[in-house]
Amino acid sequence: MQRQHIQTRARSLELNYVNARFGIFAHEHQRQPEGDWTTWLVIGGRGSGKTRAGAEWVKSIAAGDVPSAKRIALIGETEHDVREVMIEGVSGLLAIHAHHEQPKWISSRRRLEWNNGAVAYAFSAEDPESLRGPQFDAAWCDELAKWRHADATFDMLQFGLRLGERPRQVITTTPRPIPLIKRLLKDRKSTVVTRARTQANAYNLAPAFLDTVLARYAGTRLGRQEIDGEIVDDRPDALWSRTLIESCRAAEAPPLQRIVVAVDPPVSSSKGADACGLVAAGRAEDTRIYVIADETIAGLSPSGWAAKAIALWRRLSADALVVEVNQGGDMVRAVIAEADASVPVHAVRAKRGKWLRAEPVAALYEQGRVKHVGAFPALEDELCDFGLDGLSSGRSPDRLDALVWAIATLSFGAKDGPRIRAL
């Protein structure tokens, strides 16, 4: 009896130490919601306790709480993020367990093992195909709004959530207006949403951090997103707005006198490299420009994206490929020529910054001289998120660059005559 009392007292002291160091898991937004849900979407500002919420949920289901889980997927933006934030971070899975309850982290196998047989597997959103095959009864996705391949990774995960009576997933993220987040918010049948501002976790944050960040960013677009956890569709400093793009929507294009396929090639084909912007547009008789395709692709070799660009050129019976040649101009020409030497290539070179190049094109939209034939969600997200400092994610605006080259060529380039084709 005395031994049991000593063990209970030791565990209490250990948990008190853990809570004092890593914060008390008592915030309303960190408690698992009730109800018959499949996805728990925790949207919050920086430091609001999102990671702790996800980690505590995984801890509880691995321990056998209802619902329990034995095979759990842990998915972050990169392998580094999974390890440093979700597993080994100050609010990660190892930190929130008492020492004698900690799961064993086997880094070589990218897995956590609990003594009761529960296992969590680490995956990177950079490699959606790694989720093809494994199966789970639960998953924790962290910072989904930052994932480069958000839709592909999420889709692969859904096929793997097939064990147990009711597989569930928790998504903890700072919001960005990406299509996947919007779809989840609209799915009220299976998604429950919890929102939290940074101030909700003030107890665990440095007072100087809150004072400085709030004074500088409160009320700004960045502050609304990163502090208040709001999804902000438009940037105040963006060249395009959602309203503007909607006003430029067209059901179909009239006969086009000239069509170009613009290519913004990536600097390299290494893993994590920029995408290859691939946008097609045409000019009608009244000089209006119609955007007719966005087939931007990522992860392909030079020969791969060249083949995709040429395929689009053929399918649209386009007049030319407009290719930016600032990075490796001779190489770009050679790659396309090797794929098909008959393709006419119009090389363009950027002499000004992206904002200055995009400004006159945005002005054409304001004048009603550019139309989008249908909707291009990924492209339009870039347009409405492109400000003086680029995209809020810091990534290269590959789709926007290709769009700007296509429209600029058709509007400000040489005056071309009607399209003439050999029979």
Per-residue buried b or exposed e for 61-96, using 16+ beta carbons within 10 Å of the residue's own CB:
bbeeeeebbbbbbbbbbbbebbbebbbebebbbbbb
DSSP string, 129-198: GGGSS--BSEEEEESGGG-TTHHHHHHHHHHHB--SSS-EEEEEE-----HHHHHHHH-TTTEEEEEE-G
Is 232 a domain residue? no
Structural domain range at position 219: 2-226
The answer on 289 and 215 residing in a single domain is no
User: Which among 226, 251, 275 is the end of a domain?
Assistant: 226
First to last CA, the chain: 98
The answer on 216 and 294 residing in a single domain is no
Retrieve residue 115's tokens: 């003594």
Phi-psi region of 397 (alpha: psi -120 to 50; beta: other; left: phi over 0): beta
* Digitized pLDDT (tens) for each residue of the chain, 423 residues in all: 444 444 433 443 343 333 433 333 445 555 677 778 999 999 888 878 889 999 999 999 999 876 788 999 999 999 999 999 999 999 999 999 998 889 999 999 999 999 999 999 999 999 999 999 999 999 999 999 889 889 999 999 999 999 988 899 999 998 887 889 889 988 888 999 998 888 777 777 788 887 887 777 776 657 777 787 777 667 788 999 988 988 999 989 999 999 999 999 887 656 556 789 999 999 999 999 999 999 999 888 888 888 999 999 999 999 999 988 776 556 777 888 888 888 888 888 877 888 999 999 999 999 999 999 988 888 988 999 898 888 887 888 999 999 999 999 999 864 443 333 332
CA distances from 231 to 68, 112, 374, 377, 400 (A): 32, 33, 24, 16, 21
CA distances from 362 to 150, 208, 240, 286, 371 (A): 28, 40, 7, 19, 12
The answer on 201 and 70 residing in a single domain is yes
Is 288 a domain residue? yes
The answer on 174 and 291 residing in a single domain is no
Domain count across the chain: 2
CA distances from 205 to 174, 175, 208 (A): 17, 20, 9
| Size (the chain), residues | 423
Alpha-carbon distance of 180 to 156, in angstroms, equals 14
The answer on 164 and 278 residing in a single domain is no
Is 379 a domain residue? yes
List, for residues 58-88, the tens digit of each pLDDT value. Answer: 999 999 876 788 999 999 999 999 999 999 9
Is 418 a domain residue? no
Retrieve residue 241's tokens: 């707005």
For position 69, what pLDDT does the model report?
86
User: Which among 193, 226, 259 is the end of a domain?
Assistant: 226
The answer on 183 and 75 residing in a single domain is yes
The alpha carbon of 321 is separated from its chain's Cα centroid by a whole number of angstroms, namely 28
Angle at 171 between CA 242 and CA 379, to 5 degrees: 25
For 99, which DSSP code?
G
Is 417 a domain residue? no
The answer on 210 and 260 residing in a single domain is no
For position 268, what pLDDT does the model report?
63
> Where residue 349 sits, what CATH number does that domain have?
3.30.420.240
Is 333 a domain residue? yes
Is 421 a domain residue? no
Per-residue buried b or exposed e for 397-416, using 16+ beta carbons within 10 Å of the residue's own CB:
bbbbbbbbbbbbbbbebeee
User: Which among 195, 226, 257 is the end of a domain?
Assistant: 226
Alpha-carbon distance of 228 to 102, in angstroms, equals 33
The answer on 183 and 274 residing in a single domain is no
The answer on 252 and 209 residing in a single domain is no
The answer on 120 and 260 residing in a single domain is no
Is 155 a domain residue? yes
User: pTM (2 decimals)?
Assistant: 0.57
The answer on 218 and 175 residing in a single domain is yes
The answer on 340 and 282 residing in a single domain is yes
The share of the chain scoring above pLDDT 70, in percent, equals 85
For position 352, what pLDDT does the model report?
81
